[in-house]
Every structure is written in C-alpha cells, then in structure tokens.
Amino acid sequence: MNRMESVISKPTEQRPWWKGAAIYQIYPRSFMDSNGDGIGDLPGIAAKLDHVASLGVDAIWISPFFTSPMKDFGYDVADYCDVDPIFGTLADFDALVARAHALGLKLLIDQVYSHTSDEHTWFAQSRADRTNAKADWYVWADPKPDGSPPSNWQSVFGGPAWTWDARRGQYYLHNFLSSQPQLNCHNPAVQDALLGVARFWLDRGADGFRIDALNFAMHDRALTDNPPAPATDKPRSRPFDYQLKLHNQSHPGIPDFIARIRALTEEYDAIFTVAEVGGDNAEREMKLFTAGDDHLNSAYGFNFLYAEALRPQTVCAALAEWPDDPGVGWPSWAFENHDAPRALSRWCAREHRDAFARFKMLLLTALRGNIILYQGEELGLTQVDIPFEQLRDPEAIANWPRTLSRDGARTPMPWQADAADAGFGSAEPWLPVGAENAGRAVDVQERDPASLLHQTRTLLALRKAHPALHHGAVTRCEARGKLLSLEREADGERVRLLANFGEETIMLTDTAAGEILHSINGATAAALPAFAALLVRA
C-alpha cells in the first residue's frame, strides 16, 4: 500500500492560469494540411482550432515548425526565428496566435536549446576554424592520441556521440543525430542568443514554451568517460543504453541557465515554461529545474510515456514525487506524445480498447498537475503499424526492427471517416492514416453522444469545475492490488477517484460513500467492473 499525506491548497491562494491546466499537443506535420502537399501546416492548425477549443482545454502546445532540413522533423533547427516554408510563414504564425487567443486558448511552442541543425549559420561559422567568433558555440574536442573520439559517450539514436570534422581537425559532440551538433550552453554568448530567440517569440505573442531535452544542455567539460550501466534483463537496442549517462548530460550548471530563462519570461504576462526531462535521474532533475520561484514553472516527465503497463502503483509513485509542499515544483503529465507509442496499444488488449480509452481519460483528468493530451487522444487513436519502406523516423530506421517506430504515433489526424485521406487535406499524406484510426474520425464521434470525444469534453469540464480535481492536493493515494483510491482536496472540497485497473470486478464497501460526480464502464457505489471508475465527492 502506498500512502501520501500532503498540504491542502488554500482558497485564498492566487493561482496562475497554467496551474492545473489541460494542454493539447499538436504535431503540425500531422494535424491538418491546408495546401494539399501531404504535410500539415500552421494554416491547417488555425482552421481546426474550433475542435481543440471545444474540448475545454486551456492551451495548445505546437511541436517545432521552425526552418529545418527535417532530418529529425523540426528538432534540428536551422533558423530559430523563422517558419519553415512547408509549415507556412511568420504571418501564418501571427494569424494562428490571433485565432488561438480569440478562442481563449494560450499558445505554447517548442524551444530546442541543446542542439541545432548542422545547417544553422552558427554551426557553419563555428566549424570554419578554431578562431572565429563562434568557434566556442558548439562542443569541439581534439581526438585522443590514437585518433579516436574524445570520450566514450554514445548518442541517443545509436553510435558514438562524436563526429570528426576535417575543417577544424576536431570532433564535435551530438547527443542525437550527427546532423544535430551540440550547443555549448556553458558559453554565456550562446545563452544570450537563445534568450534572444525566446524573446523573439514572446514578442510575437507566444504564451510560453516547452523546452526540449533540457537536461542535455550542458556537458562535463573534462569529457570524462561514462561508466557502464548495470546488467539488466531488458533488451538494449542502442549503445546509449549500455552506459550511465553521468557526464554528457545533467550538468549541475543547467539550473543557473534555467534561472536566466525564468528571469526573461517574468518580463511577460502569464508565461508558462515546462521542461522535457527524461533519463535515469529524471525526478531529481525535474525538481532542480522547477525549484522555488526562480526556475521553470513545471517539468514533463516520462513516468507514463514509456510504461509498458498502467498500474495503480505507478500512479501513486509518480504523484508521491510531487507533494504540495513549499518550494516543490508543479508537475505536468502525459500518457502519449509524438515520441511514445500510443497508450492504448501499450496498455490493454485489443478487445478492451474502448473501455480502457474511457478509463485512462478519466484517470488523466484526475491527476494533480497539468495534463497534456496528444492530438487524437480524445478519439482513442492507436499505434499504426508502418512498414519499413514507409518509415520516416531516423531512430526507427537506424535500429530496425528492435525499436518501435515513433512514426506510428505521428500519423495524420482523422477528421472524416469516409474520405480517402480521412479529411487530412491531401491525397498522399506523409504517413498513412491507418484504417482503424480512420474509423475513429472526429465526424463519426461527433454524431455519437457516447463517444470518447464527448466523454473527454465532459471530463475536462468536470476537472475545471471542481477545485479538488483542478488544483487540489493529493491527500491520499492507495494502491491495493488492481484498485486505486486517489483522494484530492482544495477549497473545502474533497473528491475521491476509485479505479479498477483489472479485468475482474472489485466489490466496494463504504469507500464509495458520497455524491457520484462521474462513473464509467458500469461503475456503481457497490462494484467496479473491469476498467471501471468512479469520481465521488465526499
């Protein structure tokens, strides 16, 4: 049994808009194509924002749309301050901001501060020689006496994290693709340039940032070798998994850079910043990155994104990391995103998908923290099986067939079930829609009052209407076998979630006493059938 006691939030507390917010992630390549070229774009997003607003979310987060050679689909930035032509123009971005704000939605964008594309002008100058003004803007190092790389560090996508560059006669560091050279964020001039990028987008109306791979932003300047990771029974498909990543990431200087980011955002009204933090020490770093009032507002962990199963113990363990105590940051949670396999394909058998989709949506909306829905999650989309010849994901191509393709979660959003392209806007989308997902299209679910789409709207409205669900403290989290009992309190209100994570019916006693706010999958005050859950106000 897991128990957690916490401080109850006070009615008089002044809360910013983002504390308890529901955020909708949009992967622009796959949301809506406005010009028929097979790739979604900013005007396409603007055209479909009514759907997003109708869900009752507070904000949208748009994955990268900046100028890029697209070797890692926008996370290899060649110009931080412009829109790639496949997505539109700066004028299209301005129009999207205006449309979002008119619908009452905040607009968050990605920022990639750990690396750029090798086609960025900064890198072109840096690699030219060892004496130019940007020579130290990236991580360069001489070879070992035998010509081998400066350290044993490995890249996330496979192979050494160092690539030789004959022009400089040195190796450069890249924690991801060799075309994504690592910025040297120890350099104050690099930090200044990145803060200038942030200011550029804030001045254009962005309401905040999700900061990608932030724990990679600084490295051990002594280039100390990483030690081997302990043996494990889990399969390891990449050299990266054979090391403890002690020296190529998670540098203690990163929080000081974060403090500079926070100082900048404090100059603007209602700005929200959330860090993506993965890796072996994610919880510790998330705390460091969000500590007090001079760091980021929130951190986005991986507790659920790569979990092979969803268990009550997983929920209690994740929430226990974020007590409602002074100085402790505010968490953000997601079950799905553009990098992780669709949750329904990971967490339940095919025959349980409809019930489980309702179950996990209720669970997500009951968590303390911000919640992030990935596009199509409100429809119950599943992972699409992409054949090798249609893969676009560089990690999946490099590690085929041992790595599950990220492409399967990046397929186009289905808007119309009977359209050849599912209403995406192009005859040949950049990835296939998937027949099963086409059948879950928005138009089909709009016509069905019992659909997941309608339930998502109901649950988000319920979360917003009840302080205990929206921003309340966790006063109890108990995992007993397949039963989760989660209790939250705020502003004099106490709400309890009772959820059955298993296929066998669980009988209840007086634990369900109170007003039932919502029930799914046949739940009653007496019993929870398979994947059933209750929200009860005590």
CA–CA dist 142, 303 (Å, integer): 38
Alpha carbon distance 288, 394 (integer Å): 31
Sign of CA dihedral 176, 174, 87, 390: negative
The answer to whether the CB of 477 falls within 8 A of the CB of 460 is no
Q: Is 479 helix (H, G, I), strand (E, B) or coil?
A: strand
In the chain, the amino acid numbered 70 is M
Q: Rounded to 5 degrees, what are φ and ψ at 480? A: -120, 100
Write the DSSP assignment of 155-186 as a string of letters.
Answer: -TTSSBSEEEETTTTEEEE-SS-TTSPBB-TT
What angle (nearest 5°) sits at the alpha carbon of residue 271, between those of residues 188 and 487?
A: 120
Please say if 267 is a catalytic residue. Answer: yes
407 is catalytic: no
Across the beta sheet with 515-520, what order do the strands follow? 473-480, 483-490, 493-500, 533-537, 515-520
Residue in 146, 203, 233, 267 annotated catalytic? 267
Give the C-alpha separation, 507 to 480, whole Å.
Answer: 13
Please write down the long-range contacts of 485-494, taking CB distance under 8 Å and 24 or more positions apart. Answer: 485/511, 486/315, 486/316, 486/319, 486/366, 488/366, 488/368, 489/8, 489/9, 490/8, 490/9, 490/11, 491/9, 491/10, 491/11, 491/467, 492/11, 493/466, 493/467, 493/468, 493/537, 494/468, 494/537, 494/538
- If DSSP codes are grouped into helix, strand and coil, which group holds residue 199? helix
Q: Which of 76, 207, 212, 339 is catalytic?
A: 212
Structure tokens at 511: 């634990």
3-state secondary structure of 508: coil
* Residue 55 three-state SS: helix
Residue 261 φ/ψ, nearest 5 degrees = -60, -45
Residues annotated as catalytic are: 212, 267
